[in-house]
Amino acid sequence: MPERARSAAVTAELPEQAAPPGTAGRILHAGLELFAEKGFSGTSIRDIGARAGINSATLYSHYRSKEHVLAALVLLGHQELHVRLQRALVRAQGGPGSQLAALVRAHVLAHAEYPLLALVANAEMHALGSDAAAPALALREQSWQLLLVVLDEGIRAGEFTATDPLLAAAAIVGMGRQVAHWYGPRQPYTPEQIADTFSGYALAIAGAAQHDRETT
Amino acid sequence: MPERARSAAVTAELPEQAAPPGTAGRILHAGLELFAEKGFSGTSIRDIGARAGINSATLYSHYRSKEHVLAALVLLGHQELHVRLQRALVRAQGGPGSQLAALVRAHVLAHAEYPLLALVANAEMHALGSDAAAPALALREQSWQLLLVVLDEGIRAGEFTATDPLLAAAAIVGMGRQVAHWYGPRQPYTPEQIADTFSGYALAIAGAAQHDRETT
DNA sequence: GTCTATACTAGGATAGAC
DNA sequence: GTCTATCCTAGTATAGAC
């Protein structure tokens, strides 16, 4: 599995209706591919123009700067994840076990279905100034809280035997985030398979009772 | 826990005796700090010189190029990890359970004790050409195999109930790697605490029998 | 909105004195 | 080994025509 590339993905897909139409959308796609492959600083405005099929100067009719292109992508990625997590939690019927499973499933699915977006949102956010990063950071904090509340509640209710929700959350988030780095079309799994398997791992980490793991 | 910075660490430590003495070592330290903070492409040769307390031109008396500085760091990081994993595995007395626990403990410890080195080794390798990356990639492949063999053997022996060693390994490696991003002096854990806790998580992921998890 | 042309800065790397 | 000075390329961004 080890490879040099940052991602095993090949197509740079953006969630439907999330990307603007026309040239602005093509710029976003181009930025996504290039930032994922070479990083923000390793990508020039001319690279983006060439990939999007426009002159580099045209970019400034749609975004104020290269940083604004990245900021749009980083925000979009965090929004998509947060919306999915919220929806998963609301739809989960049952106790903390099924809620945790639903959250992790959504988290992993988002990283497997949009690996480049997840990669850029996570690995390139450091290139944004603190103002540009703030909205995405706020969403990340909220997503983090969703997971933490479920873990806390499961421990309080005696359904999870884990004793340290912070470490459990860090482990669960870590294994999910890395999916963006290794999942690609050459892997013999569907995103759903990975999501379901990792949901089980998360329940194991949390120390959910065995019968819960099989019925969620 | 969410933060914009790539790492919560503050000191850029290198394993003892791994860094060369004198100016070459100061360049390596400077590169480590800057590559971790701003990425390879975001760091200029002049940045490195300033941080190391030398003129940027002096760098070329010690390294052939900026890429060679990164290559040295990436290789060093992978060597350190691989040596620790080998040592952990050899010292582990007992079956697959204690071997898995030892591997994960070593993996997590390395990422918590040298977070910046782990960060650069993992997140910046993509900036190396394939020739420069090859030695580190080979080590990574070997480290990966160590984990996979232990998981396979545990499953074969019936000690682990997990059915998919590849996904289990991906999850275990993922949660360990992320430690480099969030662990820092402001966390109320020692590296040992995290390593022990995550070892338990790995056993849970693998589906080790409960009594094994408590005795390893 | 899109292009050509261009201003201006910063970056990697080398030459040559000490 | 280290510095100063410099070459040359590539980078971000803007001006102005169409």
Identify the CATH number of the domain in which residue A30 sits.
1.10.10.60
- From the Cβ of A55, is strand D under 7 Å away? no
Burial bucket for residue B74 (CB in 10 Å: 0-12, 13-18, 19+): buried
Instruction: Name the residue facing B137 among A4, A140, A194 (closest C-beta).
Output: A4
Measured CA to CA in angstroms, residue B37 lies from A77, A126, B50 at distances of: 22, 8, 15
A160 and A135 inside one domain? yes
Say yes or no to pLDDT of B150 above 60: yes
Strand D nucleotides, any atom under 7 Å to a protein CB:
1-5, 10-16
- What's the mean per-residue pLDDT of chain A? 96
Residue B12, phi-psi category: left (phi > 0), alpha (psi -120 to 50), beta (remainder):
beta
- Of A36, A129, A131, the C-alpha closest to A77 is A36
Any domain includes B38: no
A123 and A36 inside one domain? no
- Report the C-alpha gap between A98 and B14 in whole angstroms: 43
Per-residue pLDDT, A30: 98
Instruction: Name the residue facing A194 among B167, B169, B198 (closest C-beta).
Output: B167
What residue has token string 């060597």?
A: B79
Contact A171 B198 (CB under 8 A): yes
A36 and A133 inside one domain? no
Mean pLDDT, residues B92-112 taken together: 97
Say yes or no to pLDDT of A211 above 80: no
Any domain includes A153: yes
Per-residue pLDDT, A16: 86
Q: Give the helix ranges, DSSP H, for chain A.
A: 22-38, 45-52, 66-91, 96-113, 115-123, 130-156, 165-182, 191-206, 210-215
Q: Range with the lowest mean pLDDT among A124-133, B1-10, B118-127, B206-215? A: B206-215
Chain B nearest CA to A16, separation (Å): 27
A69 and A53 inside one domain? no
DSSP 8-state symbol, B105: H
Return the structure tokens found at A216: 């969620």
- Report the C-alpha gap between A32 and B56 in whole angstroms: 33
A101 and A198 inside one domain? yes
Mean pLDDT, residues A48-57 taken together: 98
Most A CBs within 10 Å, among B104, B126, B163, B198, to test the A interface: B126
Span CA (B69) to C1' (C16), Å: 25
Say yes or no to pLDDT of A213 above 90: no
Per-residue pLDDT, B214: 63
Any domain includes B163: yes
Any domain includes B73: yes
Burial B168-183 (b: 16+ CB within 10 A, else e): bbbbbbbbbbbbbbbb
Chain A nearest CA to B22, separation (Å): 30
A22 and A124 inside one domain? no
Per-residue pLDDT, B216: 54
A25 and A53 inside one domain? yes
Any domain includes A3: no
CATH code for position A185? 1.10.357.10
Per-residue pLDDT, B210: 74
Return the structure tokens found at A71: 């900021």
A115 and A175 inside one domain? yes
- Are the C-beta atoms of residues B162 and A166 closer than 8 Å to each other? no
A53 and A154 inside one domain? no
Instruction: Return the number of CB contacts < 8 Å for A and B.
Output: 120
Strand C nucleotides, any atom under 7 Å to a protein CB:
1-5, 10-16
- What's the mean per-residue pLDDT of chain B? 96
pLDDT band for position B113 (50/70/90)?
A: very high
Any domain includes A11: no
pLDDT band for position A11 (50/70/90)?
A: confident
Any domain includes B83: yes
A59 and A74 inside one domain? no
A23 and A53 inside one domain? yes
Any domain includes A37: yes
A22 and A89 inside one domain? no
Query: How many separate domains does chain A show?
Result: 2
- Are the C-beta atoms of residues B167 and B206 closer than 8 Å to each other? no
Q: What is the residue range of B187's domain? A: 66-215
